[in-house]
Amino acid sequence: SARADIIDGKAFAATLRQKVAAQVARLKAEYGIVPGLAVVLVGEDPASTVYVRNKERMTAEVGMNGHAFRLPAHASEAELLDLVRQLNADSAIHGILVQLPLPAHMDARKVINTINPEKDVDGFHVVNAGLLATGQEAMVPCTPLGCLMLLRDRLGSLAGYKALVVGASNIVGKPMAQLLLAEKCTVSIAHSRTRDLEAEVRQAEILVVAAGRAELIPGDWIKPGAVVIDVGINRIERDGKPVLVGDVAFEQAVRVAGAITPVPGGVGPMTIACLLANALTACCRAVGASEPA
């Protein structure tokens, strides 16, 4: 029987990074400006350390200036806020990212909302959330932005599609739903208290899953031909070995869906590529350069 097309997020992300690199070169040639991206890491959370290292490597690869700031886990919130304000005031810094999670003694919301919204390349500032929700020019959170790019590439106009977003976090689910609404999808949002998740999933022509629950969605729930974007990254044991799986049961889903992102190699690589795209966008806006389409 037919199998879904596998959406190659890794290849798409590589192409996006090349486009960003070309635009970075153009900014340098035409304006003499190199986008500067500051990445702030507090403490030594192993996963965060890996993410930050990857972000720094790819920042350099596209020709941007990466600025790494590391504070010890016991640094005070005031120290971190001082650093953020310093970066806000620095004209060589166009994007600021504070890696989450922060240590428990810090108020992440306060720290994020101290970033100049125009430099908020993660798009988590309350002003950016509000701009997105009201259809104004915003910095858009990287993971949902990457999902949207993959959907547009696959479907063209998204207008009129029935879309379901499973997960309602501020960093993935909610902004994803806002983006799909702005594209004129008919959008539903499911979460932990949704009464009949299966019935919701069965109707979805576009299904984006960001619940953080390994293989929450069995393949036979999926509407035949649906486009499935699996944001989940879950480390589980299978046959005694550690494996990475998404929030969708991939091997089942691939027999029903029209197209699906794999885990790994789907949404994951898009997130960092979109971070770089956001840093480029922030720089273009700061210097009044035309923004790449």
Annotated binding site for NADP(+): 167-169, 233
57: number of Cβ within 10 Å: 11
Helix axes 142-155, 173-182, angle to 10 degrees: 40
To which residue do tokens 């986008």 refer? 35
The distance of closest approach from Cβ of residue 214 to ligand NDP in the complex, given in angstroms and rounded to an integer, is 9
Which residue, 63 or 265, is less far from ligand NDP as judged by CB?
Answer: 265
**Cα gap 209→231, rounded to integer Å:** 6
Residues present in the chain in total: 293
Size of the site for ligand NDP (CB under 6 A): 26
Binding residue for ligand NDP, selected from 143, 178, 261, 278, defined by CB under 6 A = 143
Bridge partners for 290 per DSSP: none
Contact (CB, 8 A) for 255 and 224: no
Using the CB atoms, write b or e for 130-167: b if 16+ within 10 Å: ebbeeeeebbbbbbbbbbbbbbeebbeebeebbbbbbb
The distance of closest approach from Cβ of residue 187 to ligand NDP in the complex, given in angstroms and rounded to an integer, is 15
171 touches ligand NDP (CB under 6 A): yes
Q: Catalytic: 18?
A: no
- Kindly tell me the sign of the dihedral angle through the C-alpha atoms of 99, 86, 144, 154: negative
Nearest to 15, CA basis, from 268, 270, 281? 270
Phi, psi (rounded to 5 degrees) for 228: -115, 120
108 touches ligand NDP (CB under 6 A): no
| Catalytically annotated residue among 23, 120, 122, 174 | 122
Q: Catalytic: 122?
A: yes
Which residue, 205 or 247, is less far from ligand NDP as judged by CB?
Answer: 247
The distance of closest approach from Cβ of residue 245 to ligand NDP in the complex, given in angstroms and rounded to an integer, is 10
Residue span binding ligand NDP (CB under 6 A) among the ranges 33-41, 132-140, 148-156, 205-213: 205-213
169 touches ligand NDP (CB under 6 A): yes
109 touches ligand NDP (CB under 6 A): no
The distance of closest approach from Cβ of residue 67 to ligand NDP in the complex, given in angstroms and rounded to an integer, is 22
276 touches ligand NDP (CB under 6 A): no
Contacts of 211 (CB under 8 A, 6+ apart): 166, 167, 232, 247
The footprint of ligand NDP on residues 232-251 (CB under 6 A) is: 232-234
Binding residue for ligand NDP, selected from 99, 128, 178, 271, defined by CB under 6 A = 271
190 touches ligand NDP (CB under 6 A): yes
Query: Where on the chain is the footprint of ligand NDP (CB under 6 A)?
Result: 143, 166-169, 171-173, 190-194, 197, 210-213, 216, 231-234, 267-268, 271
Q: Which residues are marked as active site? A: 55, 99, 122
